[in-house]
Amino acid sequence: MMDAPKIVTTRPLLIARNVSKAYGDVQALSDVSATVYPGEVLGIVGESGSGKSTFLRSLNLEETPDTGSYTLDLPDVQGNLFDLDRYARRMLCATKIGIVYQNPHLGLLMKHSSSGNVAERLLVAGERRFSVLRDKARDALDASEFPLERMDAPPIELSGGMQQRVQLAKAIALEPALLLLDEPTTGLDVSVQALVLDTLKKLQQERKITMVIVSHDLGVIRTLSDRVMVMRRGKVVEQGLADQVFQDPQHAYTQQLVHAKL
Amino acid sequence: MSLKSLTKDWEPMSYGFLDASAKREIRRKTLKAIAVPGCQMPYASREVPMARGWGTGGLQVSCTLINPKTTVKVIDQGADDSVNAASIRRFLARVSGAPTTTDTLKADLIQSRHRIPEEVLREDQILVLQVPNPEPLRPVQPNMSIARQMHADADYGRMWLQLYEQIVRSGRVMQGASYPSLVHGRFVMTPSPIPRWDVPKMHMAKHLTILSAGREKRIHAVPPFTRVEPLVFDDVPYRVEEHGDLTCTRSGAKGYFMNEIPQPDGTSTYEVSDSELGVKTIRSSEGETIDIGQTWYQNGEMAQ
């Protein structure tokens, strides 16, 4: 008789529960919950103003929601992260969470060198050896498929696609437990978009980085995500496995989105 | 009881120029600055009969500390005889009746623009440095509210980033003056724009240093025997100006910080920046018995 297969359970890396946030009369988020397992990519899709970026900024602890909880299953990280003070948030984000913004101006020092932008993240985490900073910045830029001969050029002299690669290198320099991507390919032309997506895919496969990606572009979400969360007017209207959501959308809004894309 | 009995007689000017409440505030803020080394304390910088940016911060501290027995020395980039130094020295003497000197060893209070004298200062001496820009984070964070949060969090990564950028672009640290330094392991300060040569003089010094910015309305201090460590990478050593081999053309002094004097033929000559040390060296070489104190540097090397 064959032995029963051994079952290994995995704990979620990220659990967000009932996250709500209002800006005056505008309810940006209403009871949004999400769970992400290690090595998984969660795609969040929705129209402009649906609250997806607010939710992502909350996960990066840039926003403090009115209600809700957020935990990360990491050593030395305990309790509801929304309750952390500014200093603890800064240190957690500097070492455990990486983010790539839609607008590179938010994530980069445009007049510093590209390698310096990556080194900044290492400096915040306490690295004080110049040679190590240099080596690690080179490695991260290389992993992001950035041309190393331009590693000391300031981002302001680079194209949009290159700027996104510098942001990506900065985000992965410390091998974060969680990588957040806010519309990483928006504003790029289709060929550059494809290159950035390829890099993201490669990174995810090689390093098994847990990612949360926000986009209004269904193609981007479909290419990268294992699971998909559809948001509208601050609420989650549907979530499930990527294939399931795209092939058999249940909610009318998701159907509308999928068909609009097709 | 009449109103006259409750008030002081009218005087044309307060002692030390500043009124008592202004001096009280500056003393209070100075004490706070000494209690938290390197932390910038805001104060209500008063008007003094001098334009902002010409040493009004240092002058207010000097006016607050001075008394008729204080011997005052004022230097401007090492020189006792510059117009600015001479004017401030004369002003302090006039408003306080205090004696003045150019000899570092005889001074109780030294107000300085951008230099620390070459002779080692004692426990009983106070150095007041004039500061144009007290905020070290301003070049990397123009928003002062955020800069203050960064100080609170000891978030100084971007200060190192500045040094990183200089090494990447120029192959070495280019910060010649205002070298960012960590005071007592906590706050990063801009030590006036004193040259790199002078920064090690502040480390565990016996004297009290008060740094005051009149235009920016900030006082910070380095109390005696406090660690002042320039920010450096672990594998890139801190380097001071290579003036050890230069000789002063006027005095023959060697091994000190020099001013470069360009010549019409394209060459340069050098003069010792601490003018009083130059004068002492000349007088000593002419056979006079002169008391030259121990110097921080010997033959261009910082004495241990």
Tell me the pLDDT tens digit for each residue of A191-244.
888 888 888 888 888 888 999 999 988 888 988 999 999 999 999 999 999 999
* Nearest C-alpha neighbor of B105 from the set B256, B273, B295, B278: B295
Give yes or no for a contact between B155 and B132, defined as CB atoms under 8 angstroms apart: no
Do B168 and A123 make contact, defined as CB atoms within 8 angstroms?
no
Residue A77, phi then psi, degrees to nearest 5: -120, 115
Helix (H, G, I), strand (E, B) or coil at A242: helix
DSSP assignment letter at A104: H
Count how many pairs of residues, chain A against chain B, have C-beta atoms within 8 Å. 46
Quote the CA–CA distance of B69 and B88 in Å, as a whole number.
Answer: 17
CA dihedral B73→B79→B83→B89, nearest 10 degrees, is 0
* pLDDT score for A219: 87
Interface-testing mutation among B155, B156, B159, B165, with chain A (most A C-beta atoms within 10 A): B165
Quote the CA–CA distance of A146 and B268 in Å, as a whole number.
Answer: 46
Helix (H, G, I), strand (E, B) or coil at A36: strand
User: Which residues are A240's β-sheet partners?
Assistant: A228
> Using a CB-CB distance cutoff of 8 angstroms, which residues of chain A are in contact with residue B153?
86-87, 90
Give yes or no for a contact between B188 and B181, defined as CB atoms under 8 angstroms apart: yes
Q: Vertex B203, ends B202 and B208: CA angle to 5°?
A: 50
Interface-testing mutation among B140, B158, B161, with chain A (most A C-beta atoms within 10 A): B161
Sheet of strand B187-189: strand arrangement? B187-189, B181-183, B228-230
Q: Is A183 an 8 Å CB contact of chain B?
A: no
What residues does each domain of chain B span? 20-228, 258-302
Do B158 and A123 make contact, defined as CB atoms within 8 angstroms?
yes
CA distances from B19 to A41, B11, B55, B215 (A): 68, 11, 19, 19
Do A133 and B164 make contact, defined as CB atoms within 8 angstroms?
yes
Q: What would the DSSP string read from start to end of chain B?
A: --HHHHSPPP-SSBTTBS-HHHHHHHHHHHHHHHHSTT--EE--PPP-SS-TTSSHHHHHHHHHH--TT--EEEEETTBSSSHHHHHHHHHHHHHH---B-S-GGG-SEEEEES---SBPPPTT-EEEEE-S---TTTTT---HHHHHHHHHTT--HHHHHHHHHHHHHHSS----BS--EEETTTEEE--TT-BGGGHHHHTT-SSEEEEEETTTTEEEEE-TT--EEE---TTS-------TT-B-TTT--BSS-EEEEE-TTS-EEEEESSHHHHHHHHHHHTT----PPPBSEETTEE--
CATH code of the region B20-228: 3.40.50.11310
Find residues 119-138 of chain A whose CB sits inside 8 Å of chain B: 119-120, 123-124, 128-131, 133
Helix (H, G, I), strand (E, B) or coil at A65: coil
User: Which residues are B262's β-sheet partners?
Assistant: B268
Do A90 and B164 make contact, defined as CB atoms within 8 angstroms?
no
> Using a CB-CB distance cutoff of 8 angstroms, which residues of chain B are in contact with residue A112?
161, 165
> Using a CB-CB distance cutoff of 8 angstroms, which residues of chain B are in contact with residue A123?
157-158, 160-161, 164
**B151: closest chain A residue by CA:** A87
* Average pLDDT score over residue span A29-54: 93
Do A90 and B153 make contact, defined as CB atoms within 8 angstroms?
yes
**B231: closest chain A residue by CA:** A128
Do B165 and A116 make contact, defined as CB atoms within 8 angstroms?
yes
Query: What interhelical angle do B56-65 and B83-96 show, nearest 10?
Result: 30
pLDDT tens string, chain B, 304 residues long: the values are 788 888 877 777 789 999 999 999 999 999 999 999 999 999 999 999 999 989 999 999 999 999 999 999 999 999 999 999 999 999 999 999 999 999 999 999 999 999 999 999 999 999 999 999 999 999 889 999 999 999 999 999 999 999 999 999 999 999 999 999 999 999 999 898 999 999 999 999 999 999 999 999 999 999 999 999 999 999 999 999 999 899 999 999 999 999 999 999 999 999 999 999 999 999 999 999 999 999 999 888 888 6
> Using a CB-CB distance cutoff of 8 angstroms, which residues of chain A are in contact with residue B158?
120, 123
Do B164 and A87 make contact, defined as CB atoms within 8 angstroms?
no
Helix (H, G, I), strand (E, B) or coil at A210: strand
DSSP assignment letter at A48: T
> Using a CB-CB distance cutoff of 8 angstroms, which residues of chain B are in contact with residue A120?
157-158, 161
From the list B153, B168, B235, the residue facing A113 with the nearest CB is: B168
Give yes or no for a contact between A10 and A38, defined as CB atoms under 8 angstroms apart: yes
Give the pTM.
0.89
* pLDDT score for A26: 93
> Using a CB-CB distance cutoff of 8 angstroms, which residues of chain B are in contact with residue A154?
none
Quote the CA–CA distance of B13 and B244 in Å, as a whole number.
Answer: 48
Do B233 and A129 make contact, defined as CB atoms within 8 angstroms?
yes
**B141: closest chain A residue by CA:** A109
* pLDDT score for A250: 87
Quote the CA–CA distance of B76 and B115 in Å, as a whole number.
Answer: 7
* pLDDT score for A146: 93
Phi-psi region of B255 (alpha: psi -120 to 50; beta: other; left: phi over 0): left
Give residues with Cβ within 8 angstroms of A65, minimum separation 6.
A19, A20, A21, A29, A58, A82
Interface-testing mutation among A120, A122, A141, A156, with chain B (most B C-beta atoms within 10 A): A120
Whether the CA torsion B293, B296, B301, B303 is positive or negative: it is positive
State the SS3 of A9-26: CCCCCEEEEEEEEEECCE
> Using a CB-CB distance cutoff of 8 angstroms, which residues of chain A are in contact with residue B236?
130
Quote the CA–CA distance of B232 and B177 in Å, as a whole number.
Answer: 14
Distance of CA A113 to the CA centre of its chain: 23
From the list A113, A115, A124, the residue facing B157 with the nearest CB is: A124
Q: Is A86 an 8 Å CB contact of chain B?
A: yes
Q: What would the DSSP string read from start to end of B227-269?
A: -EEE---TTS-------TT-B-TTT--BSS-EEEEE-TTS-EE
Q: Is B31 an 8 Å CB contact of chain A?
A: no
Q: Is the pLDDT of residue A2 over 80?
A: no
* Average pLDDT score over residue span A55-78: 94
Q: Is the pLDDT of residue A158 over 80?
A: yes
Distance from CA of B158 to the nearest CA of A (A): 7
Q: Which amino acid, B238?
A: Y
Do A86 and B169 make contact, defined as CB atoms within 8 angstroms?
no
* pLDDT score for B9: 78
Quote the CA–CA distance of B53 and B33 in Å, as a whole number.
Answer: 21
Q: Is B157 an 8 Å CB contact of chain A?
A: yes
Give yes or no for a contact between A115 and A141, defined as CB atoms under 8 angstroms apart: yes
CA distances from A186 to A193, A246, B25, B68 (A): 8, 21, 55, 71
* pLDDT score for B304: 65
Query: For all residues of chain A together, what is the average pLDDT?
Result: 91
